[in-house]
Amino acid sequence: MSDVVNRAMSSAAAIEWARSIAPELTAGLALAHGDAKSVAAPWTGDTLHDLRHCTVQDVDAAESAARFAQREWSRTSFAERRSILLRAHSLLLERRRELIDLVQVETGKNRASAFEEVFAIAQAMRHTAVTVERVLSPRFRRSSVPGVVRAMVDHEPKGLVSVVTPWNYPVALAAMDVLPALAAGNAVLQKIDDQTVLSLMSLRRMLLDAGLPAALWQVVTGPGDPVGNAVVDAGDHVSFTGSTATGTRIAERLAPRLVSASLELGGKNPMIVLDDLDPDAAAALAFPACFGSAGQLCVSIERIYVLRPVAEAFIAAFAARIRSARIGPGLDYSIDMGSLTNRSQLDRVQAHVGDAITKGATVVAGGNARPDLGPYFHEPTLLTGVSPDMNCFAEETFGPVVAIHVVESVEEAIAAANDSQYGLNAAVLTGSVARGRAVARRIEAGSVNINDGYRASFASIGAPMGGWKRSGMGRRNGPEGILRFVESRTIANPTGILPLPVDGESAARMEPVYLAALRVLAALHFP
Ligand code: NAD
């Protein structure tokens, strides 16, 4: 494994720069009267800035301000909202370096993974801007006997959308929820993770500079209990991204109020490697699929099922690719994998690897923490011989650890891939897209990528993204990603072409007419 250590000076300069702009960025946060907490830069472990937490009273004040602003915002035209988003899109492309640098400094990830965030935000901004009116404009829908009743469906914003986001893709995941919520006419009350406040506030500043009223998007800080709970309690819809454990607690909390939620949760994502692809090509594709953002990615691949005829060659090629990976801090594209983001991430990765080794797994490549590079670095790690008694067999590691299992048939691979409580993302590597699609259609997951790990579906902005089973409910992106933030209303009136019965006599008179209409509709195969 080749290490890139000559970037230390520029990473130190980036940390210093982020420290210097922290006060102006955090000034945009909701007023906070709680304790202060120090936030560290993952590359060095040094303090980046001190962040004050909100109290529950601060959350209440932010909620009131957001609700007040939403009344006027809900009356703005789609054209007005569209032009703000399109202006923000231009600002994002202009100021992308600031955002990419901040994401790297706060998360420790490599530049290619940080660029994915900017790309995802840009597409979410433009797609939301140009589709929201089409998705939400009032439309006529058909009634049971066409012409007899005229039905129109329109939409109202939910009001206040509560958004809770994690630190791993702090701006992309936020944008995919916040932007459509705002474009649909809502205000947003967001609780962000302490670790990535600066990146998020940099994005928010672009929106404000593009004309978004500041009060409409309130950002609060603090722990899940009590601040996250207060944010969840405030919302008319809750959009949560994080672990399955927290998402489940939020769903339970919302049940008595019957408030809707979109929950984007954890995964244990499988990849199937078929026997019709060059092993070197497959290994090149598998590397970013498993180790993007150092594996701290909900859609990252953690289990690989490879067909026996290509298994030996694929494992050798993948191990070689891992051993040649450049890991370290740095602000350019020369680095293949960055740091883990915090101590508990490193602890979890080491615990999973240690447990697997103790119980008999083999480390084919990687396997070690790298304190020589920075406090939270860990090598990309490839394991074989992982069995159900090991923690990393079925539990999400959320780090750079992948287990390879050799299978005898495609059937066995599909069954193993589906044998999970999760169903977020999956991948198929193959020489034939048609064959890949046939396998994909049998996988129980919200997205399946052919010849890629996650970027193909992540970039499919018009298509829904979300999880089956315990990976979540609801979808982001596409029309589904906008419709979750509105209530629909059906407005219907009889046209008078055929009278609606008002008493027993008229019902008796109309019965043969309506029965005849049903027969005609059936004969015409009318939908
Ligand atoms: P986490 O659930 O611990 O925390 C996520 C966020 O929720 C944080 O901001 C946290 O402060 C907040 N929170 C905690 N308790 C809360 C409560 N009771 N009420 C409201 N908010 C609360 O998750 P994490 O460890 O920060 O993130 C990693 C997890 O997120 C992984 O499981 C990963 O797979 C998942 N994730 C999923 C997606 C997706 O789109 N499906 C994307 C990214 C991450």
Mean pLDDT by 10 residues, the chain (527 residues): 46 94 96 96 97 98 98 98 98 96 97 96 97 97 90 98 97 97 98 98 98 98 97 98 97 97 98 97 98 97 98 98 97 95 98 98 98 98 98 98 98 98 98 98 98 96 97 97 98 94 95 94 91
Give the separation between CA 480 and CA 301, rounded to whole angstroms. Answer: 25
Minimum-distance ligand 1 atom for the alpha carbon of 264: 41
d(CA 222, ligand 1 centre) in Å:
13
Residue 55 per-residue DSSP state: P
Closest CA relative to residue 303, chosen from 425, 185, 195: 425
Ligand 1 atom 10: the closest Cα is on which residue? 224
Residue located nearest, by CA, to atom 6 of ligand 1: 166
Ligand 1: nearest atom to the Cα of 471 = 41
Specify the pLDDT at position 8. 39
Ligand 1 pocket at CB < 6 A: 164, 166-169, 173, 191, 193, 224-225, 228-229, 232, 241-243, 246, 249-250, 264-267, 298, 396, 398, 424, 467, 472
- Residue 519: predicted pLDDT: 95
Exposed, middle or buried by CB within 10 Å (0-12, 13-18, 19+), for 60? middle
The predicted structure's pLDDT at residue 526: 87
CA distance 24 to 362: 49
- Say how far apart CA 402 and CA 302 lie, in whole Å: 4
Mutate to test the pocket of ligand 1, among 53, 109, 178, 243 (most ligand atoms within 8 A of CB): 243
Q: What is the pLDDT of residue 326?
A: 97
- Tell me which DSSP letter residue 27 carries: T
Strand 422-423 and strand 425-429: the pairing is: unpaired
pTM: 0.95
Encode 140-201 in three state secondary structure: EECCCCECCEEEEEEEEECCEEEEECCCCCCCHHHHHHHHHHHHCCCEEEEECCHHHHHHHH
